[in-house]
Amino acid sequence: MDKKSAVIIGAGPAGLAAGYEFIKQGIGPLVLERSGTVGGISRTESYKGFHFDIGGHRFFSKNDDINRIWQEMLGSDFLQVSRLSRIYYQNKFFNYPLRPANALFNLGPVESLLILLSYCRARFAPQPEESSFEQWIINRFGERLYRTFFKTYTEKVWGISCKEIKADWAAQRIKGLSLLVAVSNALFGGGQQAKSLVEQFNYPKYGPGMMWQRFKDHINAGGGKVMLNCEVSSVRHDNGRISKIVYFNGKEVQEVSAENFISSMPISSLIKLLKPQPPAEVLQSAEQLAYRAFIIVVLIVDKAVLFPDQWLYVHSPKVQVGRIQNFKNWSRFMVPDQSRTSIGMEYFCNENDPTWNMPDHELIEFAQREMAEMGFGPASQVIDSYVVRQSYAYPVYDSTYEKNLQNIRNYLYSFKNLQTIGRSGMHRYNNMDHSMQTGILAAKNCCGERHDLWTVNEEKSYLEEDRTVREIPTVPEKVLIKAFARMDKFAFATAFGAICGLLVFSATMWIISRGGDVLNSHLRLLAQYFIGYTVTVKGAFIAFGYSFFWGFLFGWLFAYLRNLFLAIYIYRIKRKAELLSLKDFFDNF
């Protein structure tokens, strides 16, 4: 292959986006996909005419380029959906995002009061450390709200205690803590844009797999090639460069060489496939990186309506199911018969644990029992079912992941023609548009540009766009920084006292120099307040001392109150921005 050639491992959103960008650059890449379909975890499976997602994927982004590409691919087949999702807890449905009136009604006044008191306690006496997810959430929302709406669901997803999950994972999921962003939202209504994104999203007519099939067709038509059922068995390297990839296409083992290589496979798997092998400590780090797996049990129910939501978050500890998808509420075209409903009972697990190894028929019976226990109908209404297992679904942010990932990154930096992209390829909890952005930027890097893929999704607010770090603030930023800077109480008080003293001193000296009796008589009134004051040179210095003293006290008090009220204001708008960003917290699981 020529010097502009490229091989991409994985045909998920990241890999296909990289392929799309290569086609734009006039390069026909080879994309190798292990499975028989494109899309990765955001693919669409089908069974007897029923279509279903592997987890449910909304299409929304603040990146105009990503939105444009999506629209270009699907056009009129890209539907706009009004979002409805709720939390199921204690046999009741809570609006999500949480709404005070609904939460108060469902929890009752006593529990709501206890949550409020717990919140106040957390604000006035926060935990001194924030190393874990549990500490991070409690410090912001109180222990009682944490145990009600965070603990059970989060531990279902990750399979470990919230004490073992790193706080930076929570910080990545709940953003909007930047002072600049918070103030901008407060002054210019930036939070409303985030709200609109939560309430509406786009969705392909027949599920997200439809989008990725269009990407595949586009790459093939543009001179590239997407090959399915091709499993990479080794990645050969020499002198700091990847030389070729060995893969099995279902019939025979083949090799392919190229100038550029991009991988979206799990980064730990990539490390294990490198030949010669990496150092022992790098292999050990790869072995210790953890991923959470996922099982979806699709139940086809002989009933037109079960619930109006696209999906439900199940916070109840009484059942094991973590989330329930209702596919016909995403798009009516997902279900061939509108008199029936297909739901996806989602179970989070680890590969080869008891849930993962449970036979399909047992999983189906288990899901039917939980469906009935939650009040959605008896098992007798289920007329068919289907099971899908998904490995490497979620990268786990445990207590050791950061060190292990850094060891791997340091080693991979030694390869001049290899980049890793996407959620699994970077072991980062990227959303779909973030993953696509890493693929696009990786392809641009192969064409001479220089982008740091690891800065994607590191913004303080949820801005799904490529951004270069600005070392020099813009004019609006400078204005906001100055306007909200703390005032130095001593400096302001000294300056204000000096001005007051100089004014009275100058007025006295001016009258003395003029010798005017009328003005003189009026200024004598200051003697009632400044003991010892006379309209003389000596009196001018006495007046300066008094005026400076009282001016200093007033200036200090003014600066103190100004800082206090400003701190309260900033606290309020930061909390508002934080709570707005909380709306997407569970959506990103």
* pLDDT tens-digit map of 314-365: 999 999 999 999 999 999 999 999 999 999 999 999 998 999 999 999 999 9
Which of these, 476, 549, 538, lies nearest to 512 by C-alpha position? Answer: 538
pLDDT value at residue 198: 61
pLDDT value at residue 535: 80
Which residue has 């092998």 as its token pair?
Answer: 277
The CATH-assigned architecture of domain 80-204+291-395 is 3-Layer(bba) Sandwich (3.50)
Looking at per-residue pLDDT, the higher value among 473 and 359 belongs to 359
Average pLDDT over every residue of 276-296: 96
Q: Which residues pair with 395 in a beta bridge?
A: 291
Where residue 137 falls among pLDDT bands split at 50, 70, 90?
A: confident
Which of these, 475, 473, 433, 399, lies nearest to 208 by C-alpha position? Answer: 433
**Torsions phi, psi for 281 (to 5 deg):** -70, -30
C-alpha pair distances (Å), 435 with each of 12, 137, 336, 370, 395: 9, 26, 31, 34, 13
Is it the case that residue 234 has pLDDT exceeding 60? Answer: yes
Which residue has 């929304």 as its token pair?
Answer: 60
Is it the case that residue 292 has pLDDT exceeding 90? Answer: yes
pTM (2 d.p.): 0.77
Where residue 272 falls among pLDDT bands split at 50, 70, 90?
A: very high
Q: How many CA atoms lie within 13 A of 267 on its CB side?
A: 32
Q: Which stretch, 119-123, 436-440, 544-548, has highest mean pLDDT? A: 436-440
What is the rounded distance in angstroms from the CA atom of residue 332 to the CA atom of residue 50?
A: 10
pLDDT value at residue 557: 92
What is the rounded distance in angstroms from the CA atom of residue 589 to the CA atom of residue 98?
A: 17
**To the nearest whole percent, how much of the chain has pLDDT over 90?**
56
Give strand ranges (E) for 249-339. 253-257, 260-263, 274-275, 291-301, 311-314, 323-326
How would DSSP label each residue in 23-82? HHTT---EEE-SSSSSSGGG-EEEETTEEEESS---B--S-HHHHHHHHHHHGGGEEEEE
pLDDT value at residue 515: 66
What is the rounded distance in angstroms from the CA atom of residue 27 to the CA atom of residue 351?
A: 38
What is the signed CA dihedral for 275, 242, 284, 10, rounded to 10 degrees? -110
**Torsions phi, psi for 516 (to 5 deg):** -85, 125
Cβ atoms 523, 533 nearer than 8 A: no
Any idea which of 181-195, 322-336, 445-459 has the lowest mean pLDDT? 181-195
Average pLDDT over every residue of 484-493: 80
For residues 526-543, one letter each, b for 16 or more C-beta atoms within 10 angstroms of the residue's C-beta and e for the rest, the string is: beeebeebbbeeebbebb
Cβ atoms 341, 306 nearer than 8 A: yes
Start and end residues for every CATH 3.50.50.60 domain found in the chain: 6-79+205-289+399-455, 80-204+291-395
pLDDT value at residue 464: 34
In the numeric block, which tokens belong to residue 447? Answer: 């064409």
Where residue 62 falls among pLDDT bands split at 50, 70, 90?
A: confident
Looking at per-residue pLDDT, the higher value among 56 and 519 belongs to 56
Q: Which stretch, 107-121, 176-190, 470-484, 571-585, has highest mean pLDDT? A: 107-121
Query: Which distant-in-sequence residues (6+ apart) come within 8 Å of 293 by Cβ?
Result: 348, 349, 350, 351, 356, 389, 390, 391, 392, 393
C-alpha pair distances (Å), 381 with each of 48, 313, 377, 387: 17, 22, 7, 18
Q: Which stretch, 118-127, 226-235, 535-544, has highest mean pLDDT? A: 226-235
Strands 44-47 and 341-349: unpaired
Query: Which distant-in-sequence residues (6+ apart) come within 8 Å of 420 by Cβ?
Result: 262, 263, 264, 267, 270, 412, 426, 453
Class of domain 6-79+205-289+399-455: alpha beta
Where residue 579 falls among pLDDT bands split at 50, 70, 90?
A: low
pLDDT value at residue 191: 46
pLDDT value at residue 167: 80
Each residue of 1-53: pLDDT tens digit? 444 699 999 999 999 999 999 999 999 999 999 999 999 999 999 999 999 99
pLDDT value at residue 215: 98
Which of these, 567, 563, 565, 566, lies nearest to 555 by C-alpha position? Answer: 563
DSSP letter for 4, please: T
pLDDT value at residue 484: 63
For the chain, the first-to-last Cα distance in angstroms comes to 40
Is it the case that residue 481 has pLDDT exceeding 80? Answer: no
pLDDT value at residue 526: 78
Q: Which residues pair with 204 in a beta bridge?
A: 78
CB atoms within 10 A of CB 176: 24
Is it the case that residue 135 has pLDDT exceeding 70? Answer: yes
pLDDT value at residue 492: 87
Strands 241-248 and 291-301: unpaired
Is it the case that residue 126 has pLDDT exceeding 70? Answer: yes
Which residue has 């590239």 as its token pair?
Answer: 224
pLDDT value at residue 520: 52
Looking at per-residue pLDDT, the higher value among 510 and 5 belongs to 5
Query: Which distant-in-sequence residues (6+ apart) come within 8 Å of 242 by Cβ?
Result: 235, 236, 261, 415, 417, 418
Q: Which residues pair with 300 in a beta bridge?
A: 342, 384
Where residue 529 falls among pLDDT bands split at 50, 70, 90?
A: confident
Angle between the N-to-C axes of helices 190-199 and 179-188, in degrees from 0 to 180, rounded to the nearest 10: 90
Each residue of 390-440: pLDDT tens digit? 999 989 888 889 999 999 999 999 999 999 999 999 999 888 999 999 999
Average pLDDT over every residue of 241-261: 95
Which residue has 């960003």 as its token pair?
Answer: 581
pLDDT value at residue 582: 57
